[in-house]
Amino acid sequence: MKIIHCADIHLGSKMETNLSKEKAKIRKEEIFDAFNKMIEYASSNNIKHIIISGDLIDSKNVSSTVKNKVLKIFNKHSDINFYYLEGNHDAHVLDLTDIPSNLFVFNSEFKKYVIDDICIGGICSNNTKDINFDNDKYNILLLHGNVVKYNSNEKDDIYLPNYNGLNINYFALGHIHKNEVINVSKESVAVYSGCLEGRGFDEAGSKGFYVLDINDKKLVNLEFVNSPIRSINIVNVDISSAVDSDDILKNIKNKLNSYSKNDLFKVILTGEYELEVQKNTQRITEKLNEEYYFVKIEDQSKLKINYKDYENDISLLGEFVRTVLDKQDLSEGERNKILEYGIKALKNEDL
């Protein structure tokens, strides 16, 4: 039997960080598109069970339109069973008197559902005393929280040794938005599926869901399906050899050539550049956003200058350089900017 494990979809998320109002609206819909895409994958591959390990919905304050849209998806796919654990973002959001017959909700009390020789259970806490699985099943436990190295009383912390002896074969985890497999023992594995669609540059990388293939009470295969609508990418570009803004733009485009123009990018400029280089990151950003869906630039490049040349310089320029270097409350980026603009101004060069 095959089962899909996903988590942290955050339907209804506003997606307003970095994006314009128009693109934020598009991205909000694309979160739903990613959820529907996963369900269509299940239908196409005859998968009848989907686990959602928390934070299906982004907030308790989402509109009734979002809630109704979610319920419509469940009702549309009545041939698929959804096992939904409430997370820290969406606790009690779907408190309904008329729950779809194919939606099984886990909350603060442990529940379990048996499908042939597989048992799916879940609880919205790290309380282990009520968890009871039979040892003659392949047992899946839905949890939402942080796996920690040391025992903790924090409600969102999961200390895996506390679950020893409870006959758990697969911990279906949510809360961390990056996919990860943690080997617990020969018979047990803990898995974060990550989110289906990255919402910001802190959620770059592969996004999707896991497919469990269970046969004869054993996990015979675990496959990650990378399936975002748009990928979020962080790309480093060394501008050490660039001579002007057009050259920097060319270097960036060369680096982005292997990506889709429909993706989102944070381009980090690195390396050292000569004082004579005209570097207009605003213009470069505008040019890139004419061609790509979204690009932002973070400039971590450094001005190439030998500060020792100014240690004994008695000119105004030498005094300026020494003063800036002595400022301990400046970040490296701030110091570089001040030095660059100050030196150019004192040498009567264009800023």
- Give every strand in the sheet of 2-6, ordered side by side: 103-106, 81-85, 49-53, 2-6, 208-215, 218-226
Q: How confident is the model at residue 60 (pLDDT cuts 50, 70, 90)?
A: confident
Domain ranges of the chain: 2-226, 232-346
- Give every strand in the sheet of 294-299, ordered side by side: 232-238, 264-270, 294-299
* pLDDT value for 239: 96
Q: How confident is the model at residue 322 (pLDDT cuts 50, 70, 90)?
A: confident
Higher-confidence residue: 64 or 49? 49
- Per-residue model confidence as pLDDT tens digits over 100-109: 999 999 988 9
Average predicted confidence (pLDDT) for the chain: 91
CA–CA distance, 343 with 294 (Å, rounded to integer): 33
Average pLDDT over residues 132-140: 96
Q: Which amino acid is at 200?
A: G
* pLDDT value for 87: 84
The burial class, CB within 10 Å (0-12 / 13-18 / 19+), for 128 is middle
- Per-residue model confidence as pLDDT tens digits over 187-223: 999 999 999 999 999 999 999 999 999 999 999 999 9
Higher-confidence residue: 88 or 318? 318
CA–CA distance, 282 with 296 (Å, rounded to integer): 9
Would the pLDDT of 317 be above 60?
yes
* pLDDT value for 18: 85
End-to-end CA distance of the chain: 65
Q: How confident is the model at residue 149 (pLDDT cuts 50, 70, 90)?
A: very high
Tokens, residue 107: 């909350």
Q: Give the predicted TM-score (pTM) of the model.
A: 0.89
CB neighbours (10 Å) of residue 154? 11
Average pLDDT over residues 165-183: 97
Q: How confident is the model at residue 95 (pLDDT cuts 50, 70, 90)?
A: low
Which backbone phi and psi does 329 adopt, to 5 degrees?
-90, 5
Q: How confident is the model at residue 148 (pLDDT cuts 50, 70, 90)?
A: very high
Tokens, residue 106: 């886990």
CA–CA distance, 174 with 192 (Å, rounded to integer): 6
Task: Report which of 174, 341, 14 is spatially closest to residue 349, judged by C-alpha positions.
Answer: 341
Q: How far is CA 183 from CA 149, 187, 226, in A?
A: 14, 9, 21
Check whether domain 2-226 has CATH 3.90.79.10, yes or no: no
Task: Tell me the percentage of the chain whose pLDDT exceeds 90.
Answer: 71
Task: Tell me the percentage of the chain whose pLDDT exceeds 70.
Answer: 96
Average pLDDT over residues 261-277: 93
* pLDDT value for 105: 93
Q: How confident is the model at residue 96 (pLDDT cuts 50, 70, 90)?
A: low
Higher-confidence residue: 211 or 124? 211
* pLDDT value for 259: 96
Pick from 104-113, 230-239, 317-326: least confident: 317-326
Would the pLDDT of 351 be above 60?
no
- Per-residue model confidence as pLDDT tens digits over 20-55: 999 999 999 999 999 999 999 999 999 999 999 999
Beta strands at 180-183 and 189-192: parallel, antiparallel or unpaired: antiparallel
DSSP symbols for 29-59: HHHHHHHHHHHHHHHHTT--EEEEES-SBS-
* pLDDT value for 64: 83
Q: How confident is the model at residue 136 (pLDDT cuts 50, 70, 90)?
A: very high
CA–CA distance, 252 with 317 (Å, rounded to integer): 33
Pick from 68-77, 90-99, 149-158, 329-338: least confident: 90-99
